[in-house]
Chain A
Amino acid sequence: MPKLSYLKALNRALGDEMDADPDVFVLGEDIRVAASNLTAGLFARFGPERVLDTPLSEQAFTNFATGAALAGLRPVVEFQIPSLLFLVFEQIANQAHKFSLMTGGQCKVPVTYVVPGSGSRTGWAGQHSDHPYSLFAHVGVKTVVPATPADAYGLLLSAIRDNDPVVVFAPSGALGVREDVDFSTLAPIPLGVGRIARTGSDVTVVALGHLVHDALAVADELAGGGVSVEVFDPRTVYPFDVDGLAASVAKTGRLVVIDDSNRTSGFGAEVLAIAAERFELIAPPRRVTRPDGAVLPFALALDRAVQPGRDQLLAAVRDVLTSGGRG
């Protein structure tokens, strides 16, 4: 079977959807020469009306995309850097996202925002290493963080077809992931439906994006010691697949979430809150996150120290396995 890389999968989804729907177009910085590779080959295939190289005017081109969407097109906006989402938070959270409700349902805003390289970008330091998916989930913008190439393909397709704004975070740590894929099986994946990345019976680990691969590695390691870890990948942060997680936790009774965002008010906190409200747990749940208020320091060892890693996950899983007693 041919190998497909995550980045190539995003590129393929975009190209396929542009082929299928003439209303789809892409805009962003340096996308004509495809500096990030997301748009590789698309300019030659679709030309300047559908691959728009923009000046450095993020706030303008983000609202421009909203305008184009209100006029019936389906824009895909590429952001080179995750932190640029802070710059356009107004345009996404306060404009694109609010249009439908504020106009009493008179319009739709089918814009997709893609960040091919979110989270730590090794050596890009404080202003280029954020992973702000929790922010978008907090304000209710549909937010997707795929883990695998097939999911990257399927979720980007669904995001583009969705009639609302959707942010697709492609973690830097996942861009190089490759898997064997039968291209004929590549298909859209619905937003809001998680998947069991590995079945297990002792504890459920919730992980997103590149961290799914870390969780699987930790599960492998623990399997050697007789511990059976189930890895649940929600795929979409918002809407969140509560039922999928509920089914997993019903089986395992224990929960750990690993989240590459800051601790306070983060995605991990949300998963634990859902658990507190809805699930019967044998042991208190745990979350492994970036520290509170984290800004990624430049030096490699410091950058790594701030990101949630396998060792912390391993410790958290061992902790919930031994700290039972409530049930």
Chain B
Amino acid sequence: MSAVDLYRTVRLIRRFEERAIEFVRSGEIVGGIHPYIGEEAVAAGVCAALRPEDLITSTHRGHGHVLAKGVNPARMFAELMGRESGLNKGRGGSMHAADFSLGILGANAIVGAAGSIATGAAWAHRRRGRDVVAVSFFGDGAMNEGMLLEAFNLAALWQVPVLFVCENNGYATTMPVAGAVAGSITGRAKAFGIPAFTIDGQDPEKVLAATTAAVDRARAGKGPTFLECLTHRLDAHHTFEHRTRLTYRSADELSAGWSRDPVEIQGARLTADDREAVNAEVEALLDAAAGIALGSAHPDPAAALEYLYASPEVMH
């Protein structure tokens, strides 16, 4: 993937998020979102190393992951606005975005829950003779969930083609990593015999290189890899924080984070003209996407429980 393509992805995610925050403020998006601003290089670099048929599981902070995997921004905006044309037909919202046609098995609102889902899916595809790799994204907070550590064990034991991508942004809501993680993050994966690396999560090209190596390993039948991506969440944990103004990190710390803005890091690799062209292209795409989403229908309340069962005929 070219420098321009990687830039396009990080810029798209950034501007999508900024516009989504505006929609939260204007009330078009109800319930708020968990902004991904500052962490774009992880999604962009990881997904650039994947094929369309590869799988991902995402988190409560998942807009970047799904956009990088190829989701149509109009359908994502529509989902955030609870519209029928949304990815999940307005039923899932921000924390459950899924597009199975793109290998996106869903964002998950329970921290640490999806590591084993990705592992099971990757294992099943391999058993059926398919050359598919799965990536599970999660935060540093998830490293303390027992269910994720159990997933590491299964993946290592059965040499499953899965990548565990830890987005270490330094905090689980307000809890700093140092106050939560005994030992080291990579040490936990290594304890199960999973090769684990700590990489710069602000540079899309570095993330892409590390992920490519891990994906190659997985496809070669060598089992799981763990990547700890050091990154910064430059906005709130959730947009509710814009109102409550939780105090848990300093202004200095934030501005240090901004000095390593992934959009700038990748943008600096482009000519001014190329950069300007991509920016304009992204803006036009998002203008159109927002327009489509705003213009699409709300679901019918009478169908509130449609899709509850995949085999509705057995229910009365």
Q: Which residues of A contact B (CB under 8 A)?
A: 29-30, 32-33, 35, 53, 55-60, 83-84, 87, 121-128, 291, 293-295, 297-306
A-B contact count (CB 8 A): 125
27 pairs, A vs B, C-beta closer than 8 Å: A33-B247, A55-B172, A55-B179, A55-B181, A56-B141, A56-B142, A60-B146, A83-B109, A122-B30, A122-B31, A123-B29, A123-B30, A123-B93, A124-B31, A124-B93, A126-B91, A128-B95, A294-B305, A298-B90, A298-B92, A299-B82, A299-B90, A299-B93, A299-B298, A302-B301, A302-B304, A306-B305
Question: Which chain A residue has the least Cβ–Cβ distance from B91?
Answer: A297
Q: How far is the CB of B90 from chain A (nearest CB, A)?
A: 4
Known contacts A56-B141, A56-B142, A299-B83; is-contact A123 B175 (Cβ 8 Å): no
- The answer to whether A300 touches B30 (Cβ under 8 A) is yes
State the majority secondary structure of interface residues on B. loop
Interface size of B in residues (CB-CB distance below 8 Å): 45
- The answer to whether B108 touches A127 (Cβ under 8 A) is yes
State the majority secondary structure of interface residues on A. loop
- The answer to whether A55 touches B301 (Cβ under 8 A) is no
Residues of B close to A302: CB separation below 8 A: 82, 90-91, 299, 301, 303-304
Q: How far is the CB of B50 from chain A (nearest CB, A)?
A: 25
Q: How far is the CB of A52 from chain B (nearest CB, A)?
A: 11
Q: How far is the CB of A208 from chain B (nearest CB, A)?
A: 22
How far, in angstroms, from A272 to B247 measured CA to CA in the complex? 48
Known contacts A29-B173, A29-B175, A35-B173; is-contact A305 B302 (Cβ 8 Å): yes
Residues of A close to B94: CB separation below 8 A: 125
Among A30, A123, A126, A301, which residue has its beta carbon within 8 angstroms of that of B32? A123
Please report which residues of chain B, range 249-263, place their CB below 8 angstroms from some CB of chain A when the two chains form the complex: none
Q: How far is the CB of B83 from chain A (nearest CB, A)?
A: 7
**Is B155 engaged at the interface, CB distance under 8 Å to the other chain?**
no
Residues of B close to A55: CB separation below 8 A: 141, 144, 172, 175, 179-181
- The answer to whether A33 touches B174 (Cβ under 8 A) is yes
Residues of B close to A56: CB separation below 8 A: 111-112, 141-142, 144-145, 172, 175, 180
**Is B272 engaged at the interface, CB distance under 8 Å to the other chain?**
no
Question: Which chain B residue has the least Cβ–Cβ distance from A61?
Answer: B144
- The answer to whether B301 touches A301 (Cβ under 8 A) is yes
Q: How far is the CB of B151 from chain A (nearest CB, A)?
A: 14
